[in-house]
């Protein structure tokens, strides 16, 4: 089975995660895909296949005779798609566009258009077969494309009797909410190093990510009748606006690129009595990351001095660290990826991720883990798409990597 055929099946399984829970997986529906993959891996000939109580899927492809002592490589992808509140991941209806002509693509009946003017990567895909959404949901190639490519590569390695060392495979829940690697059992995985298959461009090798934190800011107001409010009312919604105004306006996601970090206001709610702002804070540089958190603490302190103690409560939750802190000491693993790409006809490019992967937490936990592409683009929205030919290319890259 080709990778894209697997992808079309997997994206129709609803697996979106949720932010508002501490359990893992955050949604029971992620088990639906876990158990499908468990059965498929057993049928393909994987050994030690299991799904644990947190929906992690484990399995291994044993080394060919004589290569048992080679280092064990792990290939990792995630089960979940972004929370439905961000953009729906249920009732996905993938569109197959054969021999793409390079022009705009109509996404179902939504009126949305996937256009090379807006998304220039499409120009390089002329002549490819594309998989798109129908405009109403995400596609789910992030990261079901990674799952599809890993399983297809392993299937072909076994079918073609290619010589290889031990290959460990793991599919994780809740990557999209920053929990994907937290409960991954490294002893059970048994790998010496790993690669996540969770990026975009097939030529990219990522070993730098953001440092990341989630910040919740709660504002406590005083609500009285507006006709008798003078010197009494304290409007929590206006306090929230004042807090946001204290942050540097030029350092928002829509105004930054490359190695530039940001403060990203992702949601706001409330009224006069209570209000809440939710942010994500990102920076590649550890010192600048700490400075960003300090700026937010200072803004809260300033408002509390103006309006009274505990008017503003700020909570910071660390999410992941820049995996370059570890991988700069393991450049030989990055070089393995470079070699696998070159063997597939690609010239590798080292690009910092303006986000994170399971590899961020895994590297911090002691398992060096760069990230590879899937061939997809425009993740996390209705314009998500992927090239069938690029998926096939990534299967070749993974085979080269596992059989190096």
How is the chain split into domains, by residue range? Answer: 3-209+322-402, 211-320
pLDDT(46) > 90 = yes
Tell me the C-alpha distance between 167 and 63, whole Å: 7
Tell me the C-alpha distance between 221 and 218, whole Å: 10
pLDDT(322) > 90 = yes
Could you report the per-residue pLDDT of 324-382, keeping only the tens digit for each?
Answer: 999 999 999 999 999 999 999 999 999 998 888 899 999 999 999 999 999 999 999 99
Tell me which residue of 168, 150, 86 sits closest to 384, measured CA to CA: 86
142 has catalytic annotation: no
Structure tokens at 353: 């991720």
Q: What is the mean pLDDT of the chain?
A: 96
- Which residue among the candidates 143, 174, 175, 384 is catalytic per the annotation? 175
Domain 3-209+322-402 -> CATH class: alpha beta
For 211-320, CATH number out of 1.20.1740.10, 3.30.70.360, 3.40.50.620, 3.40.50.1000 equals 3.30.70.360
Residue 285 three-state SS: coil
At 388, which helix (H) or strand (E)?
helix 388-402
Give helix then strand counts, H and E, for the chain: 10, 18
The answer to whether residues 293 and 283 touch, using CB atoms and an 8 Å cutoff, is no
The answer to whether residues 4 and 144 touch, using CB atoms and an 8 Å cutoff, is no
208 has catalytic annotation: no
Q: Which of 23-32, 39-48, 225-234 is the least confident region?
A: 225-234
Could you report the per-residue pLDDT of 133-184, keeping only the tens digit for each?
Answer: 999 999 999 999 999 999 999 999 999 999 999 999 999 999 998 888 989 9
Structure tokens at 202: 């097939």
Predicted confidence at residue 34, as pLDDT, reads 98
Could you report the per-residue pLDDT of 120-136, keeping only the tens digit for each?
Answer: 999 999 999 999 999 99
Cα 336-340-346 angle, rounded to 5 deg: 125
CB-count burial class (<10 Å; 0-12, 13-18, 19+) for 293: middle
Predicted confidence at residue 60, as pLDDT, reads 98
Residues whose CB is less than 8 angstroms from the CB of residue 213 and which lie 6 or more positions away in sequence, other chains included: 280, 281, 289, 293, 316, 317, 318, 319
- Which residue among the candidates 19, 40, 80, 143 is catalytic per the annotation? 80
Q: Which of 11-15, 83-87, 236-240 is the least confident region?
A: 83-87
Predicted confidence at residue 114, as pLDDT, reads 97
The answer to whether residues 197 and 149 touch, using CB atoms and an 8 Å cutoff, is yes
Mean pLDDT of 42-58: 98
Tell me which residue of 98, 84, 90 sits closest to 131, measured CA to CA: 98
- How far, rounded to the nearest angstrom, does the alpha carbon of residue 396 sit from its chain's CA centroid? 22
pTM: 0.89
**Gap between the terminal Cα atoms of the chain:** 23
């Amino acid at each position: 089975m080709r990778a894209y055929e697997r992808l079309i099946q997997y994206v129709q399984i609803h697996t979106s995660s949720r932010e508002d829970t501490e359990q893992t997986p955050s949604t029971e529906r992620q088990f639906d895909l876990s158990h499908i993959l468990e059965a498929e891996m057993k049928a393909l000939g994987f050994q030690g296949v299991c799904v644990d109580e947190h929906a992690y899927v484990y399995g291994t492809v044993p080394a060919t005779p004589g290569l048992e002592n080679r280092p064990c490589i792990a290939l990792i992808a995630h089960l979940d798609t972004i929370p439905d509140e961000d953009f729906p991941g249920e009732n996905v209806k993938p569109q197959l566009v054969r021999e793409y002509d390079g022009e705009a693509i109509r996404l179902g009946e939504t009126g949305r258009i996937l256009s090379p003017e807006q998304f220039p990567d499409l120009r390089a895909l002329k002549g490819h077969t594309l998989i798109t959404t129908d405009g109403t949901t995400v596609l789910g190639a992030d990261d079901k494309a990674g799952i599809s490519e890993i399983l297809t590569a392993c299937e072909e390695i076994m079918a073609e009797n290619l010589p290889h060392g031990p290959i460990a495979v793991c599919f994780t829940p809740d990557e999209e909410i920053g929990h994907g690697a937290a409960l991954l059992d490294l002893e059970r995985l048994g790998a010496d190093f790993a690669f996540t298959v969770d990026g975009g461009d097939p030529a990219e090798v990522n070993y730098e990510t953001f440092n990341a934190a989630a910040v919740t800011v709660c504002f406590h107001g005083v609500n009285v009748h507006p006709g008798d409010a003078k010197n009494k009312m304290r409007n929590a919604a206006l306090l929230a606006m004042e807090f946001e105004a204290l942050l540097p306006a030029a350092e928002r996601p829509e105004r930054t690129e490359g190695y530039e970090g940001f403060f990203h206001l992702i949601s706001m709610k409330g009224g006069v009595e209570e209000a809440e702002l939710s942010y994500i804070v990102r920076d590649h540089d550890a010192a600048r990351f700490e400075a960003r958190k300090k700026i937010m603490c200072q803004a809260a302190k300033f408002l509390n001095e103006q309006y009274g103690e505990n008017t503003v409560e700020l909570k910071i939750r660390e999410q992941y660290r820049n995996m370059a802190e570890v991988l700069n000491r393991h450049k030989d693993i990055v070089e393995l990826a470079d070699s696998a790409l070159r063997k597939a006809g690609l010239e590798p490019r080292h690009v910092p991720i303006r986000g994170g992967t399971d590899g961020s937490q895994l590297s911090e936990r002691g398992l060096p883990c760069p990230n590879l592409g899937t061939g997809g683009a425009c993740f996390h929205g209705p314009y998500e798409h992927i090239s069938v030919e690029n998926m096939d290319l990534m299967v070749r890259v993974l085979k080269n990597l596992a059989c190096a």
